[in-house]
Amino acid sequence: MSTAAVVVEAELDPPEPATARTWNPLARLGFRFVVAYLTLFCVIYPQPLFAFIGIIALWTPDRMVMDYAQLPHAIVEWVGRNVFGIDARLHLESGSGDQAYLWVLVFCILILALIVTAVWTVLDRKRTEYRRLAGWFLLFIQLILAGQMLGYGFAKAIPLQMQVPGLATLIQPYGDFSHMAVLWNQVGTSPVYESLLGIAEVLGGLLLLMPRTRLAGVLLSLVSMAQVWVLNMTFDVPVKLLSFHLLLLSLVLLAPEARRLTAVLLGQSAGPSTAPTPFTTPRSRRIADIGLVVLAAWFVLAQAVGSWQGWHDYGPGRGKPELYGIWNVTEFTRDGQPVPPLLTDETRWRRLVFDYREYATYQRMDDSLVSVATEYDSAAHHLTLHSPEAQQPLASFTYDRTAPDRLLLTGELDGHPVTLSLTRVDDSAMPVRKGGLNLVQDNPNGVN
């Protein structure tokens, strides 16, 4: 029997409640700890629970997840100072999932789980098995995992998480990229590949929520999250904590089916599923199946609407600025004097990039990039650039687009009168922008 056949067979007939059997003491102790730790993690760690608010998230503050993470900050910061000797404050604007604060938070969750396990063991020492509780616990982490798989899956299926490299990226020296930037741009260069990765994750999440397909969803989620975790570890992506725990959830969900899968690999009959379930009657199972389908629709609706909005707000569907493009500075005049393009000149600009309406990027002669906020007055043909750290505008220009690929900027830069003549680069001619599929490639590297 093939593995695929076992996956289907696993869900064809909902398992009947097994006769209660006594668990050995080590199994009971391990179960208590796993339940305590993973439940506390899913509830306390920022993000897992927020998938359940669905489309309501579109009307909640952007900082809500980080504000939630900050709730136990007094305890976490105390532990950081007194146990690890570090300042474990949460950086609200960082967006990193691997901040010292979050590592200390997980340490606190671990200690709390050990305490809960010890107290639970003492108070419930006469209990011989936890099959019904195991069913509820597995259902809980199944829903948590499904919500995360759908969230991350849609972010890739609609290629927004890793977008096509922007114009400023095209002129940035490769050696300046971080490992994460290399990964992001590599995946973003091929939106089809990114979409396929996302579709696999979405499918895993949906299979977790569809009746009779949980095992298939667990297997697909396990493979997807293993890949994500390895990428996060090897490309230093700051989502290591969460991706590891999602991988752990997949393994825990798979554990009850381990014997059946092993039997298949050994060429033996798998037999019916014996995974614990909280639903022991046909009616309760039907109600549960309906609830899972409704929850799946709730998740998908939120992700679809969020993706549509993201596509138009910051994705490929966003509006382009009037001066969109990469512009080479061919002539630079300051205080009436031509400024030669010397690599040692820290004030002369080499290029100016307009990719977004809200900000632009200029490149110095040493190839370093600086982002600045933009203000356009299309009627007056006026452009103002603001440096984030400065009170006064960095530059104020009147622009004249003498030809589609020619631009003249006249005004002030850092308090000096300047004139810049610029020529637009044809970014579509760059090899990385051409893309396409070439089934026959006699000379893929362009070497004669």
pLDDT of residue 263: 84
pLDDT of residue 269: 80
Q: Per-residue pLDDT for 8 more than 60?
A: no
pLDDT of residue 440: 87
Pairing relationship of beta strands 369-377 and 395-403 according to DSSP bridges: unpaired
Return all residues near 285 (Cβ < 8 A) that are at least 6 apart.
Answer: 14, 277, 279
> Once rounded to an integer, what is the mean pLDDT over residues 376-396?
88
Give the length of the chain.
448
Number of Cβ within a 10 Å radius of residue 436 = 4
What pLDDT, in 10s, does the model give residues 67-95? 999 999 999 999 999 999 999 999 988 88
Please give the residue that has the higher pLDDT: either 238 or 263: 238
Q: Which amino acid is at 356?
A: Y
Q: Per-residue pLDDT for 168 more than 90?
A: yes
> Once rounded to an integer, what is the mean pLDDT over residues 215-237?
96
What percentage of residues in the chain have a pLDDT greater than 70?
A: 95
Q: Per-residue pLDDT for 17 more than 50?
A: no
Cite the residue boundaries of each domain of the chain with CATH code 2.40.128.20: 325-431
Q: Per-residue pLDDT for 10 more than 50?
A: no
DSSP structural state of residue 354? E
- Would you say 316 and 163 are in contact if contact means Cβ atoms under 8 Å apart? yes
> In 240-378, at which residue ranges do the beta strands (DSSP E only) sit?
325-334, 337-338, 349-354, 359-364, 369-377
Domain spanning 325-431, CATH class: mainly beta
Q: Which amino acid is at 372?
A: V
Q: Per-residue pLDDT for 254 more than 60?
A: yes
What pLDDT, in 10s, does the model give residues 18-50? 446 889 999 999 999 999 999 999 999 999 999
Q: Per-residue pLDDT for 6 more than 60?
A: no
The interaxial angle of helices 100-123 and 240-254, nearest 10 deg, is 30
Confidence at 446, pLDDT banded by 50, 70, 90? low
pLDDT of residue 20: 60
How far out from the chain centre does Cα 440 lie? Answer: 35
Q: Per-residue pLDDT for 4 more than 80?
A: no
pLDDT of residue 7: 42
Q: What are the counts of helices (DSSP H) followed by strands (DSSP E) for the chain? A: 14, 9
What is the rounded average pLDDT for all residues in the chain?
90
Residue with tokens 């991988």: 247
Q: Which amino acid is at 315?
A: G
pLDDT of residue 261: 86
pLDDT of residue 9: 41
DSSP structural state of residue 239? -
pTM attached to this predicted model: 0.88
Number of Cβ within a 10 Å radius of residue 300 = 17
**What is the enclosing helix (H) or strand (E) of 121?**
helix 100-123
Return all residues near 257 (Cβ < 8 A) that are at least 6 apart.
Answer: 10, 215, 218, 273, 275
Return all residues near 323 (Cβ < 8 A) that are at least 6 apart.
Answer: 354, 383, 399, 401, 407
Q: Per-residue pLDDT for 224 more than 70?
A: yes
Q: Per-residue pLDDT for 220 more than 90?
A: yes
How far out from the chain centre does Cα 119 lie? Answer: 37
- Would you say 214 and 208 are in contact if contact means Cβ atoms under 8 Å apart? yes
pLDDT of residue 174: 92
What pLDDT, in 10s, does the model give residues 316-370? 898 999 999 999 999 999 999 999 999 999 899 999 999 999 999 999 999 999 9
Q: Is 377 exposed, middle or buried (0-12, 13-18, 19+ CB in 10 A)?
A: exposed
pLDDT of residue 265: 84
pLDDT of residue 131: 93
What pLDDT, in 10s, does the model give residues 109-131? 999 999 999 999 999 988 999 99
What percentage of residues in the chain have a pLDDT greater than 90?
A: 77
What's the rounded Cα separation, in Å, for the pair 272 and 275?
A: 9
What pLDDT, in 10s, does the model give residues 175-192? 999 999 999 999 999 999
pLDDT of residue 118: 97
Confidence at 376, pLDDT banded by 50, 70, 90? very high
What's the rounded Cα separation, in Å, for the pair 259 and 205?
A: 23
